[in-house]
Amino acid sequence: MSDDALVTRLREHLGKAAVLTDSDVTDAYSRDMMPLAPVGKPLAVVLPSDVEGVQAVVKACAEFGVPIVPRGAGSGLSGAANAIDGCVVLVLTKLDQIVEIDAGNRLAVVQPGVVNLDFRGAVEKHGLFYPPDPSSYDWCTLGGNLSTNAGGLCCVKYGVTTDSVLGLEVVLADGSLLKTGRRTVKGVAGYDLARLFVGSEGTLGVITQATLALKPLPQLPSTFVAGFGSTEAAGEAVARVVREGLVPSLLEIMDATSIKAAEAYLKTDLGAGSDCKALLLAQSDSGGEVARRELAALEQICVDCGAGLAYATDDLEEGKMLLQARRVVLNALELYGVWLTDDVCVPRTRIAELIAGCERISQEVGLRIAVVGHAGDGNMHPTIVYSPDSEDEFARAQKAFDAILEVGLSLGGTVTGEHGVGKIKREWLAREIGEVGLRVHRQIKQALDPQGLFNPGSMFSL
């Protein structure tokens, strides 16, 4: 059966406007934000507007033996949504309904095309809070967050996406609709299939609906900042925060390179001083006296660890200004070139060693590497800057990317904390989980996707 016949079948099901084949258009849907990941030419890009449309696409592709690559907004950083040659890219952004907000049971039912920030705003009107907040939360979709098990700045207190998932509806390889999970607080009936699909990067099925747990809307945050003369001192402060049981709603770290870039971009002095080598930023959303006690305890720890700057504020606007320094780092690095951001997670007691390793790698490859990350959970984002016009610098950036992963594993860490494996870290996943782990992954894949049509080449080879 020909490719033309499949395109004709898809148009019969979805309508001509929802099936795109012009390469000038389909190229825009063929890759995410990771420059290292391989990308192919899709046969077609389809944009169904309902679950039945998704099922029709999956059934047609199964009949024709054509691979399917599910895609959200394309904000990913691992190549997980990148097309392969001859595939159908299944774009889920038109399934964008918030089906239900059940304030009494603190849950919501959503489709995968809902934008994270729009959803957060919608539930806030009910006095509720959806914690996962990836950096791209103003344009990334919940389906993409679910497929990669995305995190964000609030993970230290509230966890990653999977910690908010009660249930999913998933289109399986034969086009049938699997309903997983529950609407209750507790439930242990059968295997936890919902969590199997969260983070599976579209390799096992297509998520078409999710039931998500919500939290009460927290108090307005109080903010704390501390500057250190060494990364070792900042790392010790983080370790003490963990040991003493403090759980701020946010705990971020910036190294000297990222501090200088943010200051240049914002055209302001962050107040840490020219000798500051690391900055910790924290927030408490407990409110009132509880928040003041939490930040006072943080301040005492940082001062004990040698912080030259330690400052807390209840002022919301001042807190936003301080946190802006962390949020603008990637934009700030564009002053020096294009960036390639990595994603490793290490034990929280070894953050300083990872930053030191990145400094060594930076010297070895001759490129700027800035390290920012979620100190509260050990998830670091070393970011390599290189010239877009230099093939040599791009090659050195690739070398640095892999070297950082090597350091992360050597420190007892993992090669991805929230961006996913995608098409750039397949060999690293194999190294991390070993032969037995890889065999089990393949057995699960074979059981749920016997033709191997769902996002082949992502996470691991078949």
Q: Is the pLDDT of residue 1 over 70?
A: no
| 3-state class (DSSP) for residue 143 | helix
Q: 85, 78, 40: which is closest to 426 by C-alpha?
A: 78
DSSP 28-82: GGS--S-TTS-----SEEE--SSHHHHHHHHHHHHHHT--EEEESSS--SSSTT-
- The whole-angstrom separation of Cα 304 and Cα 323 is 23
- The whole-angstrom separation of Cα 333 and Cα 343 is 17
At residue 73, the pLDDT reads 95
Average pLDDT across the chain, whole number? 94
Q: How many CA atoms lie within 13 A of 8 on its CB side?
A: 5
- How far out from the chain centre does Cα 219 lie? 25
Is residue 131 within 8 A of residue 90, CB to CB? The reply is no
How much of the chain, in percent, has pLDDT values that exceed 70?
Answer: 99
Q: Please state whether the predicted TM-score (pTM) of the whole model is above 0.85.
A: yes
Q: Is the pLDDT of residue 136 over 70?
A: yes
Report pLDDT digits (tens) over 21-42: 999 999 999 999 888 889 999 9
Report pLDDT digits (tens) over 356-386: 999 999 999 999 999 999 999 999 999 999 9
Sign of CA dihedral 256, 257, 259, 260: positive
Amino acid at 242: V
- Pull the structure tokens for residue 222: 């109080």
- Pull the structure tokens for residue 205: 């099925």
Q: Is 15 left (phi over 0), alpha (psi -120 to 50) or beta?
A: left
Neighbouring CB atoms inside 10 A of 74's CB total 20
At residue 182, the pLDDT reads 93
Question: Stretch 62-91: mean pLDDT, rounded?
Answer: 96
Per-residue pLDDT band at 248 (split at 50, 70, 90): very high
